[in-house]
Structure 1
């Protein structure tokens, strides 16, 4: 019976891939209208062309957040294995841009092919990685099957799995179990994540903590944020970071109706392809605004909103604000990472929907580093209270710094599981560029 169920799950998965095949180029063309990076490197998405490197430490991080989270782990592994070449794969142009900015001086960076059996076999045959690290929850059946057949042990690092995602994987239980059983090590963020992964079939599961706690705010960005704050006239600054679809309209309406004119709203959408769309929403709300990308000198006192249309400067935005709201949480989207704001020492506000960062949010609230609000009106009400209460802001900021420091160390713990796999795989493939 289990074999029959696995056969059925595999058949359904392969049928879905077959039906999706004609839509892939259409999707890339459509997405490329707003983000031109989707129009480039199509060969990589089919594992075509020369191999970028062989015998590498291979890390797959789907997009920006996962690519940033990998940084402390990559640093720890490079310190322990300085001779191992590094291959990074991703799925989005913004993830690729982040990888190039953070690791471009030493890593080989390509798109991961779509999860078709032929493409994955071709990738593994060409690249022959020593070990593969899949960041967070990247369970692709053909990828896992091809890697194991190629002799590359797999690690699921910084693994997280919400109840909603677990229910999705449970729809193909035999296939999910077969995939997780082939992963050599699962390094889960929390005990709840570990329990859900074990229930789905993961074998070697360890709770190692969240790698995002190990990301130290860059000094250069902290200095940049302080310089911005001075140029903005030292006005009270509310930052809305990593906002998502449907949130900006609610936030801008409440801001225009309830917030005094001296307060500056800095609005940083999560996805760069939405910068122009959000600019239109600010105009529709009747608020004077400027774009960060076009701002050279000081900010006009009449400006109510600064649109953060720049990449790689989120720590600077946190350093320049007095209170930070972390988006993706007013709408039922699961929230975004609040650890960065806490690590800069800023009081944090989040909405009711934080299931993607459930444990970190709970711990931050328990540490008095963050407050949860119910809606946009509650957000602005609590933000104004904090902007007018310097002692409470200072206390929450200090609590955030302590909260972030208390949970560091995941990179060392995860690297301790990966290093033996990487060392044992050194003889399987010859590192370096192929002929």
Structure 2
């Protein structure tokens, strides 16, 4: 009954979801491309692929090493994402070696159509995508479901608990849930996840595959800039101005090149226009390569985050001043970059806490602290801080191997 009510409500809201997608497509046309796939009408795949679902860019990057291993073992892979940026990441990393589709909206009829086109042998979902009809439709077809790298913040836990009956039934569709931490596992158990199908395996995001080609590109950019570089990665609306204001108060002779990389492609142009109010020497990746005369460089490309990080001396990780819980700081940590973040951290609280306690990351509470820390960190020898980040990543590797072993058992 709970799922029927959920489906009825979802059906009523579906026009709003479509409208929102079309509105977003006014700034980023990719949102309206292949729209029919979101209704479950998709080109058929051959055989019985392993189905991987990752919402967007971060999840796609995290699961990519596992996908490579599966491809090396001769498995075929169907990869679904929710966002066009995730789709672009899949295309860049795998090309035609995997089949990409958009995940349908969460209604039974759409998954009936979806499974008419695909016959996966297993569904692996990256992180916490608990969609009732997706999981029920998959489980009813006797397809094993693995929820990998699962995390559940206290905030999300309270949200799911309001619909405890629906949440419990949905979780019982899952064959195996691999939680990042014991605290995540306890929350899932409290929501009704059977304990005998629940493991704590750590975070696969520590198993970072460093792309040497991007690292070399970034080093070449850094040499071309010929001075200190601050990268502000995955920034949200409002954070670009915060970084620009902090950058602008640094004395001219100490001021670094600022690389701004907005989280969402539809904001590339607006951030570029904003930056032009702070300097006469503003450019962007699509207009020019790195140059010693550039003050502010907008990273308006996809799939090059490791290159941007490799060009920098200091990293600010976005989402941490916008109230959106922060983004993953492990990529700059793996590259040995000192890291600064704002107060919002619920998406990666455990990882941020670990990096802080080991001396690899500084967390600030306000814009004034941010400006001061940027100035101090760029003026310091940060060798110990850099090594601390590398050590944290290396010490916590292994979750991907544990996940691979569990997937092998199920297929």
TM-score range, shorter chain: over 0.9
Is the CA contact (8 Å cut-off) linking 2:48 and 2:118 kept in structure 1? yes
Q: 1:68 — aligned with what?
A: 61
Give the aligned partner of residue 430 of structure 1: none
Check the 8 A contact 1:53/1:108 in 2, yes or no.
Answer: no
Report 1 or 2 for greater relative contact order, CA contacts < 8 Å, sequence distance ≥ 6.
1
1:377 pairs with 2:388: no
Q: Any conservation in 2 of the 1:290–1:305 contact (CA below 8 Å)?
A: yes
Q: Alpha-carbon deviation of 1:175?
A: 0.5
Does 310-319 or 247-256 show the bigger shift?
247-256
Where structure 2 has 5 or more consecutive residues not aligned to the other structure, the ranges are none
CA contact 2:206–2:397 (8 Å) conserved in 1: yes
- Per-residue CA distance 1:292-329 (angstroms, 9 max, x = gap): 221136231xx321111111111111111111111110
Equivalence for 1:178? 169
Q: Give the CA deviation at 1:216.
A: 2.0
Query: Aligned partners of 1:23, 1:100: CA distance in 2, in Å?
Result: 29
Match of 2:395 in 1: 406
Q: How does 1:309-320 map to 2 (within 5 A)?
A: 309-320=300-311
* Structure 2 counterpart of 1:24: 17
1:287 and 1:215 map into 2 onto residues whose CA distance is: 37
Match of 1:394?
Answer: 383
User: 2:141 is matched with which residue?
Assistant: 150
Q: CA deviation at 1:259?
A: 4.3
Distance 2:42 2:302 in 1: 30
Q: Does 1:244 pair with 2:233?
A: no
> How high is the TM-score relative to the length of structure 2?
0.95
Q: Does 1:359 align with 2:350?
A: yes
Q: Which residue of 2 aligns with 1:191?
A: 182
Q: Distance in 2 between matches of 1:77 and 1:326?
A: 31
The answer on 1:42 being equivalent to 2:35 is yes
How far did residue 260 of structure 1 move? 2.9
Aligned alpha-carbon RMSD (Å): 1.5
Q: For 1:343 and 1:133, how far apart are their aligned partners in 2?
A: 26
How many residues are treated as equivalent by the alignment? 408
Q: For the residues of structure 2 that align with 1:50 and 1:311, how far apart are their CA atoms?
A: 26
* Structure 2 CA distance for aligned equivalents of residues 260 and 288 of structure 1: 14
Tell me, in whole angstroms, the C-alpha distance in 2 between the residues paired with 1:29 and 1:386: 43
Decide which of 312, 316, 319 is 1:328's aligned counterpart: 319
For residues 14 and 129 of structure 1, the distance between their equivalents in structure 2, rounded to whole angstroms, comes to: 24
Counterpart contact for 1:56–1:130, Cα < 8 Å:
yes
SS in 1 for 2:96: coil
Moved more, 23-32 or 413-422: 23-32
Structure 1 residue 287, shift from structure 2 partner: 5.8
CA distance in 2 between counterparts of 1:297 and 1:245 reads: 25
Do the aligned residues in 1 keep the contact of 2:229 with 2:313 (CA within 8 Å)? yes
SS at match of 2:101: strand
1-structure distance, mates of 2:171, 2:177: 9
Match for 1:128 among 119, 124, 135? 119
* Counterparts of 2:391 and 2:118, CA distance in 1: 42
* SS of alignment partner, residue 268 of structure 1: strand
Greater alpha carbon shift after TM alignment, 25-34 vs 182-191: 25-34
CA distance in 1, matches of 2:373, 2:138: 50
1:416 to 383, 402, 405: 405
When residues 330 and 299 of structure 1 are mapped into structure 2, their CA distance, relative to the original with a 3 A threshold, is same
